[in-house]
Amino acid sequence: MKIGMICYPTHGGSGVVASELGLELARRGHDVHFISYAVPFRLREYHPNIFLHEVDVASYPLFKYPPYDLSLATKIVDVTQEYDLDLLHAHYAVPHATSAYLAKHILNSKKLKVITTLHGTDITLVGADKSFFSVIKFSIEQSDGVTAVSNYLKQRTIEEFQINRDIKVIYNFIDPSKGDHSTPGVCKREKYAPAGERVLIHASNFRPVKRVSDVVRIFAKVREQMHCKLLLVGEGPERLFIQQLVKELKLREDVLFLGEVDYIEEVLRCADIFLLPSEQESFGLVALEAMNCGVPVIGARTGGVPEVVVHGETGFLFPVGEINAMTQAAIELLSDNARFRRFVAASRQRARRFAMEKIMPEWESYYREVLER
Ligand code: GMT
């Protein structure tokens, strides 16, 4: 198949999923054309079946806001014509699904199909903004195929947008070998925890929805009970506020800001517990990546997270904002070695449910099904 993969290039779940899916499709012999405004960060490795097409965003003094969606649609039209694409796969509804729809109609093609994958904030945050409502609803309804990354997100989309069409749930996936501690590039745990401290970790885009201040407050309370370090991975609008909070709580020596990390497993492999107290999370790819590395997850029972993390087996989930319960769970788990080891093993085991070799056939058969529509 010749596939156009439309995604955001930045550090974020939807870009990671699109990149890993595209790479694996390329390994399986398909041609994959990435269309984005920059090279997606996970695509730095060369593959002969991967093609990159950067969208040039028009700038003109009249444009206070350059029309990215139109530049993207134009690029999709050009690439589809030049490479005779069969399928456009838009990751994230806004504006990718809409630009793909527009391109398909400019090309006036019956052969070309559009699949939209909903990732989460395109429905729960952006979608709830009334100014986008009708265009998102239209783009979902007009796609030839629609997938959601969890049952939760599927239900939420149907309810919020009164959608009356099939939406297929295809879970995000991991490569089990990346969680393997014997693979090269293993994190130097002693660099972060030189005196054998326990290591807590959080990774996100530091947006309010992630509740990173809860992470810091949980860590502060755990630290009252045991020697530990907190690794904070990522960048985003709340980073300065979080740095200030770390300073106020006098945690500077024990909290390490690592910035953006391209291959997160390298850091996850040296952590004991992943904290994910998000207000909203349609799936929680990073929780799955943590479990794949044998790191249990403690966080909020929200959105699609309970479809990934098994409460009491691979971590603990509590209502959003229950930082005392999250703290207690972390202290208890870290204080009982035998139990902790059971959680580590169960986390790895659970992650296998989302192994690439299980999920990829779902994608390939869904692509074929949509192409036959
Ligand atoms: O978490 C974010 O805000 C980034 C966002 C994205 O699209 O990059 O993540 C969403 O998609 C991920 C991949 O499918 C999911 O694992 C995340 O749970 C989801 N984020 C939210 O729902 C907040």
CA 119 – ligand 1 centroid, Å: 6
* The residue type at 331: I
Q: How many CB atoms sit inside 10 A of residue 217's CB?
A: 18
Q: What CATH code would you report for 2-173+355-371?
A: 3.40.50.2000
107 pLDDT tier (thresholds 50, 70, 90): very high
Per the DSSP assignment, residues forming a β-bridge with 274 are 201, 297
* Residue 218, token pair as written in the block: 């949980």
Find where tokens 């974020």 sit: 12
Buried b (16+ CB within 10 A) or exposed e, 273-285: bbbbbbbbbbbbb
Percent of the chain with pLDDT over 70: 98
- pTM value is 0.94
The four Cα atoms 56, 263, 307, 128 give a dihedral, to 10 degrees, of: -30
- Same fold for the domain at 2-173+355-371 and the one at 176-354? yes
Q: DSSP readout, 196-233?
A: --EEEEEES---GGG-HHHHHHHHHHHHTTS-EEEEEE
- Chain segment 271-319, per-residue pLDDT in tens: 999 999 999 999 999 999 999 999 999 999 999 999 999 999 999 999 9
CA 288 – ligand 1 centroid, Å: 12
From 283, 297, 320, 363, the mutation candidate for ligand 1 (largest count of ligand atoms within 8 A of CB) is 283
Domain extents in the chain = 2-173+355-371, 176-354
* Residue 82, token pair as written in the block: 């030049």
- Is residue 363 lining ligand 1, measured as CB closer than 6 Å? no
- Is residue 347 lining ligand 1, measured as CB closer than 6 Å? no
Q: Which ligand 1 atom is nearest residue 172's CA? A: 14
- Is residue 234 lining ligand 1, measured as CB closer than 6 Å? no
- Chain segment 134-171, per-residue pLDDT in tens: 999 999 999 999 999 999 999 999 999 999 999 999 99
- Asked if the 176-354 domain carries CATH number 3.40.50.2000, the reply is yes
Residue 234's nearest CA partner among 260, 216, 210, 207 is 260
CA 26 – ligand 1 centroid, Å: 24
